Structure 1
Amino acid sequence: MLALYGHPFSSYTWKALIPLYANETPFEFREVGSDHPARAQFVQAAHPAGKFPVLADGNTAVIEATSIVEHLALHHPGRAPLIPADPAQAAVARMLDRVFDNYVMGSAQLVVNAYLADRANPDPEEIRRGKAGLLRVYAWLDNWLGANDMPPHVSLVTCAAAPSLFYADWVEPIPAESPRLAALRAELLALPPVARCVDDARPYRAWFPPGAPDRD
């Protein structure tokens, strides 16, 4: 039996949960928090920075959400094509995975971190940098979507795009000038594995440092 250590409100935990749900892979979800110190200790020991998600597969611990998706594709395949079979398409999927993690989620995290550091007086320069980064990557992605096809769901790209676009749009809404990206976000949120993550995270929305909007 697989076990996934993480938290329902964590974007990177979603990234690991989506392929498990999509392929109906049997696993146990082990929520990490103050109520479960042994689970937190496992994560601290398994990950060099003590971060989740961590996938336990027998005696093997797999860290980093992208690597978890790759591990599931190799060792627990199902009907969802997590990694495209064609090497060239797989390379594109991995490229987009990095774009969503580094530039969508990464830019949104700058804003979130500013509020975590000082919720009453967040650093305006960090907020400006984060939102500017989001608007730039939104435009890039919208242009890319206009010229290319996404890998079929549920892929590594789905797993990276769904949580990053979900939370990034809370930080800086996708503008009208990026209609293809807005449509992709709506498409992703309608997928059953993603909708399940959204619903499971609802009780924790008050935790979102900049304040969660009353939508989604």
Structure 2
Amino acid sequence: MSAPLRIAMWSGPRNISTAMMRAWENREDCAVSDEPLYAHYLAQTGLDHPARDEVIADGETDWRKVVGALTGAAPGDAPVWYQKHMTHHLLPHIDHGWIRGLRNVLLIRDPREVVASYVKSRAQVEADDIGLRQQVALYAELAAAGDAPPVIDSGDFLRAPEAHLRALCGWLGIGFSQRMLHWRAGPRASDGIWAPHWYAHVWASTGFEAPPARELALDGAAAAVAEACMPHYRQLHALRMRVD
């Protein structure tokens, strides 16, 4: 693969992944793609997600065709291409060879925060639904190949978004743009068809917001899922990007 610069941000749900997509799309040189493997993931797993049938009908369910598109020309021939991915969409049968041709970044969040937000849109949640185990595996795979990705913790990021974005742009070898810090409210044509079910907060936003100070009260299955994911989170959190 050659130009464009392909940035793959590997996240879990209910992180700041959509806000991050807004930041990159607001650059003048950047195209974005919103969870291109989602239709394949739903078609293969049979999971009941909001707008499941619409997502499958609207998207590409053949992962090989998705990968072919992601490694081809960027939308509008943009020089920078930000690809927003959910790590749990990387089902076991998907070959990973193409991933090593991308500039990969991991975006993590405290699983207690993730689960508390997730169950507002989908009542049932399993540990593998939020992608932290898969993020640990992907990090290990890339690190073993000599290309350990930077890890960004969303809580840290929201306390210093400009510093993190400057550091990330520096790692990528591109200039930082102040346009990444603010965007217009509302939906975008680039949003996935599932956006009405998940993106209300981002649609109302015009920039990154400081993380809320709150006590989370999870119980039952939700608490168990968060606890099961905590060791994976701690492992990646120890590797997170640190900025001044």
Query: Which bracket does the TM-score occupy, shorter chain normalised?
Result: 0.3 to 0.5
TM-score normalised by structure 1 residue count: 0.34
Larger helix share, 1 or 2: 1
Higher relative contact order (CA 8 A, sep 6+): 2
TM-score by length of 2: 0.31
